[in-house]
Structure 1
């Protein structure tokens, strides 16, 4: 293969990773929490909006997903399962917040931004982006506006948590300094298991299959006593850089005009989402003995990979966070088609009324 063509094909990806690493480095120098992740996501987003060709190939994206799942599994505390008794309260809060977010933000986008019901409500769903975009591609709503609003949500939530730890009384805990790290042999064996289980999850069409499959394998191995060592710090840093690049690269192909036309509604919808999550998380924190920030991350409707990476960076229990995000995705799997059917019925009824009015 021509080396020049190989370089041309890989250059956008290398540049994207370099921008993410540079943004993360600056954020770390400024002392921001989760700097590698937040700084990388912001830098790549800014580069994409400035017209730079950012790119994360599918294979590299899958590598990032596996590394995130491995890191989350390796960060699970041995006593994590003891927290399960308090989960029903937080799960009830999760159901409540989903109803409020979908109802209120969907209504707001339709009422004040004149979006059609399909676009408004598909934009309001807090997660399951691939499912939402699949329905949009089938002819429900404006796919371009939906993706912009949804990506704004993911980016803003990734930024909101680290900033909140600086300016708000949100507890965050530095992970205990590890005394030993996984060896090369252990890492390769663990990675092989994570990839294998991830492929099974993907084959079974489990949402975020590589992330959840890798985490399941890494968690089972750790709780089963197969290893107790931590992930090497450089590998965790690489994971954050890849995740930042992944989040920012979702803005690829979106023009500034398209962004600006949908940004106002997206920012307001995300602000409403953050407010609802914060109120519900505070209510849950009054009933269970957990850090507010951990509850917030578990209930936050951000991308699983982003929220999981933030949980690692801020020292929270990743098992709690991952479990709540999985259940959120399962709930949305039923909620999304149900709401779409209701929208279709409403549209059909409106058309029928218009036809009757014409006849009269």
Structure 2
């Protein structure tokens, strides 16, 4: 009997995961749902992971996905992006304000309503910077499993909520551009090589989401410099959406149903509160700047950069605006998270002192 190499057995879960994402995305696309390849794929892989099926997206394929997302976002940048900078201070102010409101309200809710400890509640309430949050949780602040469940629910629900929102909210304010010229295979390979190099440099510099941002920086710089004007080939964009859906869904691997149900209610309510706050902020900003509501919403939304960037591509928005706001959000959180953790530690110490003196 011929034995198959171990590499083949490791490849099977990955192939299964991509197939599930493609099937779910294909069904959503056929049904005419906005960003169907992405939303349907993420939901299908999530269901498979929660059912205990062999879902896996190896690290090297995650990096491939990040590079493809960065390339696609860079290629989708509007040529007049730099001329729109004057309108960004308004949306950036709204971004800072919404972060304070989201953390304060959702953290308070998770403590008061669901009885989570202060560390778990506030680390769960941070809208983004998951790797940073989990790194702090690993040092003993909060319950790491509950935090990751609530954070991953937020990412998944935002990925699903945005396309559904396009059916009810004024997200189609400007029609998505339809490209007529596409990059050749050779141009794609050259751009991919440059984007990989940019991603590695960003990783070396310890930039958050380095592969995505490095790839996007190279692709955006090349486009704004006039080195290319064509769009990414449609099949490659579809593959990017399928892999992104697999990436989002695979984050549920290892989470048991009991753990999920224990944290899901609080996670869903926290996500709903976040969506409501972001929507109100985006509606306010939309009254002050001449920009599509959906583009503003994606820029202000606290979803993962790769997910929101892919949705921006699917919905035809200026990905430079979206990426810039997500980068600045991560920068704001880099300062805010340690500050809140210090406050949480002080509160825990005061509570411990009161118990000791009682």
Q: TM > 0.5 between the two?
A: yes
Map of 2:200 onto structure 1:
199
Can you list the C-alpha shifts for 1:79-121, whole angstroms capped at 9, x where unaligned?
0111100000000000010000000000000001000000000
3-state SS in 1 of match to 2:166:
helix
Residues in 1 aligned to 2:303 and 2:220: alpha-carbon distance in whole angstroms: 22
3-state SS in 2 of match to 1:231:
coil
Alignment of 1:111-150 (within 5 A): 111-150=112-151
Map of 1:315 onto structure 2:
316
Contact 2:173 2:293 in 1 (8 A): no
Deviation at 1:173, TM superposition (A): 4.8
Map of 1:54 onto structure 2:
55
Size of the aligned set, in residue pairs, is 357
Residues in 1 aligned to 2:78 and 2:295: alpha-carbon distance in whole angstroms: 14
3-state SS in 1 of match to 2:357:
helix
Map of 1:81 onto structure 2:
82
3-state SS in 2 of match to 1:156:
helix
Deviation at 1:185, TM superposition (A): 1.6
Q: Does 1:229 align with 2:234?
A: no
Map of 1:97 onto structure 2:
98
Q: CA separation of 1:330/1:161 partners in 2, compared to 1, >3 Å: closer, same or farther?
A: same
Can you list the C-alpha shifts for 1:28-62, whole angstroms capped at 9, x where unaligned?
11000100000000000011111112101010000
Contact 1:76 1:319 in 2 (8 A): yes
Deviation at 1:313, TM superposition (A): 0.3
Deviation at 1:4, TM superposition (A): 4.1
3-state SS in 1 of match to 2:228:
coil
Can you list the C-alpha shifts for 1:6-48, whole angstroms capped at 9, x where unaligned?
2221111100000000000000110001000000000000111
Q: Does 1:28 align with 2:8?
A: no
Is there any run of 5+ residues in structure 1 with no aligned partner, and where? none
Deviation at 1:169, TM superposition (A): 3.0
Structure 1 length-normalised TM: 0.97
Contact 1:165 1:172 in 2 (8 A): no
Can you list the C-alpha shifts for 1:203-248, whole angstroms capped at 9, x where unaligned?
1110100000000000000010111111111100000000000000
Bigger shift: residues 344-353 or 266-275:
344-353
Deviation at 1:199, TM superposition (A): 0.4
Contact 1:172 1:316 in 2 (8 A): no
Map of 2:111 onto structure 1:
110
Residues in 1 aligned to 2:145 and 2:357: alpha-carbon distance in whole angstroms: 33
Q: Does 1:13 align with 2:24?
A: no
Contact 2:199 2:215 in 1 (8 A): yes
Residues in 2 aligned to 1:163 and 1:121: alpha-carbon distance in whole angstroms: 28
Map of 1:65 onto structure 2:
66
Bigger shift: residues 5-14 or 292-301:
5-14
Residues in 2 aligned to 1:70 and 1:183: alpha-carbon distance in whole angstroms: 14
Residues in 2 aligned to 1:246 and 1:181: alpha-carbon distance in whole angstroms: 26
When the two chains are superposed, the root-mean-square deviation of aligned CA atoms in Å is 1.2
Q: CA separation of 1:86/1:296 partners in 2, compared to 1, >3 Å: closer, same or farther?
A: same
Alignment of 1:152-301 (within 5 A): 152-171=153-172, 173-301=174-302
Can you list the C-alpha shifts for 1:283-337, whole angstroms capped at 9, x where unaligned?
1111111111110000000000000000000011100000000000000000000
Deviation at 1:174, TM superposition (A): 5.0
